[in-house]
Structure 1
Amino acid sequence: MPKISEVIKGDQTRIIDAYHGLIAAEPEDRAPDVFIWALTRYLIIENLALLPALEHHLSSGGERQKRLSDDYDSIHTKLRHMVLFDPSEESFVSALRAIWVDLEPHFKEENRRDLGELESKLGPDESEALGKKYETLRDILQKPYGKEGVPDPETLKDVLSTSKQELMERMGMAGV
């Protein structure tokens, strides 16, 4: 069973690959839904699995939770902005790059600092249990769309237009 840091890094790799695929694609071939869904799903699960663990296990967990929550808000806002543009427009690429301005340092800081410190506080069994929780949440969010599928455009739009608090309430996880 993978540790929490391995599971998170796997999702980060999927998001990074989807981002670079969008940047490299010809304007008429850009299909952003995979990137949007992978990133949205990651942000939701991070709030449900990683943030509570950081807050519980690290002395500076509350501070980190606030920083990561601010990152979520900024990235989520930029995603909502990006979907206003047709993927073939240059404005879409500009909006996509604006997301990357927040996302790249978010990933780097999480990998360089948060995950390493968290792993040092967790035993192997705890880390694997948290990794399993993360994977279970990902599977729950992915289940209606199949292993590689993404929600239909209306569902994606609905998820992006919903506040983090309301989204957690809809999922029955308010206060988690």
Structure 2
Amino acid sequence: MTRISDAIKTDHRQIEACYDKIINSNDPDEQTRWQNQFTWELARHSIGEELVVYPAFETHLPEGKDMANKDRQEHQVVKELLKQFQEMKSSDPKFMSTIRTLMDNLSPHIKEEEEQDLVRLEGALDQAESERMATSFGRTKMFVPSRSHPSAPNKPPFETAVGLLTAPIDHIADIFRKFPDHSISPNPSTK
């Protein structure tokens, strides 16, 4: 079984791989496809962390509330940048600088999360708890919005309610977006 830290790290590598595909491509269609994949991965990952991981910080760690609040603030900056990026065309002169700025903000967050936050959390969880969290994290990502909505609340239960209302709209729109190697949205509920 997968531990929560492994699930989070897997997502981080997928987000970084999408970023690499975008910045290393000169093909506008390919950039658009990877832009949609990047947005889909990062939006779902961020909300999944806010609904599953950050409450676990608050519950299991003495400094968890401060950690969760700091991470939520960092996510807010990333969500605002992602909102700008997801609405750009690959031909926009600011397309590349926007995603680079986004990753300049996201990369230190990822590093701190992997090297400090998740290490502390795993130290407070037993194997079974960590595995249950990983399962919950994966399931949660199936039901959350697939686009950035930075004005939405970022704490449960309000985020959950807003997400349940917003997600179907995002998922329907994803059907009409181009994704790499997919004829329709990568969302498993649309297959």
TM-score range, shorter chain: 0.7 to 0.9
Paired residue for 1:170, among 162, 176, 181? 162
Query: Who is 1:81 aligned against?
Result: 84
Q: What is the TM-score normalised by the length of structure 1? A: 0.82
Alignment of 1:1-176 (within 5 A): 1-28=1-28, 29-31=30-32, 32-141=35-144, 156=147, 159-160=148-149, 162-165=151-154, 167-171=159-163
**TM-score, normalising length: structure 2:** 0.76
Residue 47 (structure 1) shift? 0.4
Residues 82-115 of structure 1 deviation map (CA, whole Å, 9 limit, x = unaligned)? 2343212330111101111111001000000011
- Count how many residue pairs are aligned between Structure 1 and Structure 2: 159
**Shift in Å at residue 48 of structure 1?**
0.4
1:24 maps to amino acid: N
Unaligned 5+ segments in structure 2 are 166-191
Contact 2:152 2:162 in 1 (8 A): no
**What percentage of aligned pairs have identical amino acids?**
26
RMSD value, Cα: 2.0
Aligned equivalents of 1:172, 1:18: Cα separation in 2: 26
Higher helix fraction: Structure 1 or Structure 2? 1
Secondary structure of the residue that 2:149 maps to in structure 1? helix
For structure 1, which segment, 56-65 or 23-32, has the greater mean C-alpha deviation from structure 2 after superposition?
A: 23-32
Q: Is the 8 Å Cα contact of residues 153 and 162 (structure 2) preserved in structure 1?
A: no
Which fold has the larger relative contact order, with Cα–Cα distance below 8 Å and residues 6 or more apart in sequence?
A: 1
In the alignment, the residues of structure 2 paired with residue 88 and residue 170 of structure 1 have an alpha-carbon distance, to the nearest angstrom, of 32
